[in-house]
Amino acid sequence: MNTTCNYRCSYCTQRFVDDRKQWAKDLPGFVAAFTSLPGDWEIKLSGGEPFRHPRFLPTVADLVAGGLRVSVVTNFSDKPETLERFAHLTASRPGIVSASLHLEYVQVDAFVARAAWFAELFAGSFCVTCVATRDTLPRLADLQERFAAVGVRFKVQPEKQDRDVIDYDDGELLQIVALGGHNATGRVAPSFTGRPCWAGARYVIVDHRGAAWRCYPSRRVRAESLGNVLDGSFRLRLGPEPCRYAYCNCTVPQERGMVDTADAGELRPATA
C-alpha cells in the first residue's frame, strides 16, 4: 500500500528506502487487476503501515466487494474504531490480521489488552508477531505466554540486516526455534534451492507501483519479474518452477504447501 509508517523501528527492513512517503496511487487499477485474477485469491495488504494510506478502508471494501479475501499486516496502532471497521468490512470472508508488536514503541500491557479485545471481535485468524532482536529475544518466551493466556498466537520473526538474517549465535538460534521459528514454521533461514515452488503461479508479491514479482527473494534481486498489474503486462506463471534462491523468507508458500519443506536446508543451522 505504501512505504509510509508512523514508526521508525531500528530493525525495519525499509528504513533505508529513499522515500518513506510513497503511496499506491491507482487503487481502482489495483482492485480491477486483483478482482480479475483467475481462481480464489487472498490479498494481503502491507506497507509501511497500510492503515496510514488514506484510501485503506475504502480499498478493503472494494476488494471484499470483488469477492476477495483480505488480510493485513499492521503495527496495530490505529484507532480501535478503525480496526473494528476493518473487522466489520471483512466479516463475510475474513482473512488474517498479523499485528506486529514493536517493543520500541508500545506499552506491552496495553498491546496485550488490545490484542485480546480484537481477537474477540475479529472473525478471521489473528496473530501477533515480534522481531527477535538480540535485545528482545530474552523477553519473547514470556510474551508468548502472555498472549497465549488471552488466546492469541504469538509468532517470532528473525531480525534481518542488509536483507539477511543476522548472525545469531547457536544459543540464540535455538531460542528462536523453541519459540516456533520464523512465523511458526519451525525454521529460521531455510533454503529450498532447486525445489519446485508454486510462487509466481499461486503466490505473488506486488509493490505499491504495481510491479509484480515471484516472491520476496526474487524482488530483492530484481529477478523473475511477472510484469506490472497496472499496465497490462502482468502474467501469472502456470505451474511450479525450481527455486533459484539460497534463502527463503516467504512463509506463505512454506505454510500452504507450495514448496516441499521436508528436510529443508538451513543457512544458519543451530549446532549446540
Closest CA to 91 of 118, 70, 114: 70
| Residue 7: alpha-carbon gap to chain centroid | 17
Enumerate residues 31-70 that contact ligand SF4 by CB under 6 A. 47-49
Which of 2, 165, 253, 268 contacts ligand SF4 by CB under 6 A? Answer: 253
Q: Which three cell numbers stand for residue 213?
A: 514479482
Binding segment toward ligand SF4, per CB under 6 A, in 2-10, 25-33, 148-156, 263-271: 2-10
- Whether the CB-CB separation of 40 and 71 falls below 8 Å is answered with no
Is the CB of 8 or the CB of 235 nearer to ligand SF4? 8
Residue 103 in contact with ligand SF4, rule: CB under 6 A: no
In order, the DSSP letters of 108-141 are: HHHHHHHHHHHHHH-SSEEEEEEEE-TTTHHHHH
Enumerate residues 105-144 that contact ligand SF4 by CB under 6 A. none
| Residue 197: alpha-carbon gap to chain centroid | 19
- Whether the CB-CB separation of 80 and 111 falls below 8 Å is answered with no
Which of 68, 127, 206, 215 contacts ligand SF4 by CB under 6 A? Answer: 215
Residue 106 C-beta: closest distance to ligand SF4, Å: 10
Spatial CB neighbours of 141, under 8 Å, sequence gap ≥ 6: 175, 178, 179
Residue 21 in contact with ligand SF4, rule: CB under 6 A: no
Residue 272 C-beta: closest distance to ligand SF4, Å: 27
Per the document, the length of the chain is 272
In order, the DSSP letters of 64-101 are: HHTT-EEEEEE---S-HHHHHHHHHHTTTSEEEEEEE-
Which of 5, 70, 89, 176 contacts ligand SF4 by CB under 6 A? Answer: 5
Residue 191 C-beta: closest distance to ligand SF4, Å: 8
Which of 165, 197, 211, 212 contacts ligand SF4 by CB under 6 A? Answer: 197
Which of 143, 250, 251, 268 contacts ligand SF4 by CB under 6 A? Answer: 250
171 sits in which H/E element: helix 170-178
Residue 172 C-beta: closest distance to ligand SF4, Å: 20
Residue 24 in contact with ligand SF4, rule: CB under 6 A: no
Residue 15 C-beta: closest distance to ligand SF4, Å: 7
Burial of 148 (0-12, 13-18, 19+ CB in 10 A): exposed
Spatial CB neighbours of 102, under 8 Å, sequence gap ≥ 6: 7, 9, 75, 130, 131
Which of 90, 217, 226, 234 contacts ligand SF4 by CB under 6 A? Answer: 217
Site residue total, ligand SF4 (CB under 6 A) = 24
Q: Rule CB under 6 A: which residues touch ligand SF4?
A: 5, 7-9, 12, 14, 47-49, 75, 100, 102, 192, 197, 199, 214-215, 217, 243, 245, 248, 250, 253, 259
